[in-house]
Amino acid sequence: MLSNSSFYRRWCFLLLLAGLSSLTACNSSRTTTTANDINPYQPQPYVQLSHPEWSKNAAIYQINIRQFTPEGTFVAAAEQLNRLKDLGVKILWLMPVQPIGELNRKGTLGSPYSVKDYYGVNSEFGTEDELKAFIAEAHQLGLYVILDWVANHTAWDNVLVKQHPDWYLRDWKGDFRPTPWWDWDDIIELDYSNSDLRRYMTGAMKYWIQEFGFDGFRCDVAGFVPLDFWEQARKELDSIKPVFMLAEFEGRDFHASAFDMTYGWSWHKAVHDIANGHADVNKLRVYYSWNEKYFPQNIMRMLGVSNHDQNAWEGTEFEMFGDALHAAMALSVVGEGMPMIYNGQEAGNDRRLAFFERDPIIWREHENGKLYKKLLALKRDNTALWNADWGARMLPVHNNKPAQILSFVRQNTKDKVFAVFNFSDTPQHVSFDEHLHHGNYINYLTGETVQFTADSTVKLAAWDYRIYVQPQAF
């Protein structure tokens, strides 16, 4: 039995241990909470997806199989792959390859965007094995192939109409319906409130990646399909291999978790309006301002002067841009964005190709093809011009003719490009403010050595432009 004094000392010792234990636990709790606490003010990247590394300096080329060769087949198209690699493109976008609906078909052959069977191959173009051979040969050459995917609607006689009629939207009478407000009466709309449809459509996309080797998709009227569908599909596709996704739509939200690239329709509209005297260069400044401040930085926007819709329904690039065409082509390559070429542009195709009939491109050597090849080589090799975060932002170089002249620098620790465009129908004598552009350059298209100082000026003919390069800038 302990004495009173011994008991007291023992009791004090136990209290001290309990107090130290409690203090240690309290401090440990505070430390853990602090370590795990997330700073709510820490900025988070808007873009959550990862672009495939091979897209960093890519240009994209659209192939309309029906019109691309006299034969209109995969086999004939494969014979052009070496030429396309030499042109300097890296991503090949094939328009839809599935069988085309016959019910309510437009024209003789119908629209490739009226899909009859998501798992089939259009015999007009060839066989499954011939398509696989085309993709395999493209891969061997270091090219990548994406498939045009039509998720918003199907042909009237798609196999799903009988198998799953509940997967379709209906009009006020209860009938299948085309997309409202558009002349798309050869198709009917799907209903993405149905989870079984979403599962089916995602599975069909995975099929073309796994069985054929496609490297991603260009998604037709992507904004007419719920964004959360595309976000889920992207996750499942990326689990197979890194894919590249292009949305036929324009908007910031597509870039967060679903698409690598969207259309630059407003860029095309701005340059077209300037070329036709309906606007001046300030309209392009509005585009680039929104591109920098509204859109996240680590994205790609597709810029081009033609595509299958514009060529068929609005006019050739010659009709649309006239004397401004070469300047527009050059800006699509050296400005922020991924340049896009529609098949036949490199041959100077000056016809509106028939969309529902056979109308093969007439191939020839043309100055536009030579210009694209020269420009795309610069895009490939000059790191300042690369895509998304791999490249550099456009920095405005202010000049004394702001309504007529667009001038900017793109630079990083390796490369620097100074570009000047006269987007007007009169000659211009241009001087520049500040010193961002100062230094020694080479005129990329002529090889001439040029030095820019505070007193330097540039004389440009109507619709003329200059691209100055300064390798090893720092």
- Distance between CA atoms of residues 42 and 66, nearest Å: 51
Give me the pLDDT at residue 36, please: 52
Find residue 63's DSSP bridge partners.
94
Judge contact between 384 and 415, C-beta under 8 A. Answer: yes
Q: What is the total residue count of the chain?
A: 474
Work out the average pLDDT over 34-55: 87
pLDDT at 313 over 70: yes
Q: Sheet of 439-443: strands edge to edge?
A: 395-396, 405-411, 416-422, 465-469, 439-443, 449-452
pLDDT tens digit sequence for 67-110? 999 999 999 999 999 999 999 999 999 999 999 999 999 999 99
pLDDT tens digit sequence for 345-370? 999 999 999 999 999 999 999 999 99
pLDDT tens digit sequence for 208-261? 999 999 999 999 999 999 999 999 999 999 999 999 999 999 999 999 999 999
pLDDT at 26 over 70: no
Residue 455: CB atoms within 10 Å? 6
| Residue reference for tokens 């069977």 | 117
Work out the average pLDDT over 323-346: 98
pLDDT more than 90, % of the chain: 89
User: How high does pLDDT run on average in the chain?
Assistant: 93
Q: How far is CA 239 from the centre of its chain?
A: 21
Judge contact between 114 and 101, C-beta under 8 A. Answer: yes
Give me the pLDDT at residue 38, please: 85
The structure's pTM equals 0.91
pLDDT tens digit sequence for 407-442? 999 999 999 999 999 999 999 999 999 899 999 999
pLDDT at 392 over 90: yes
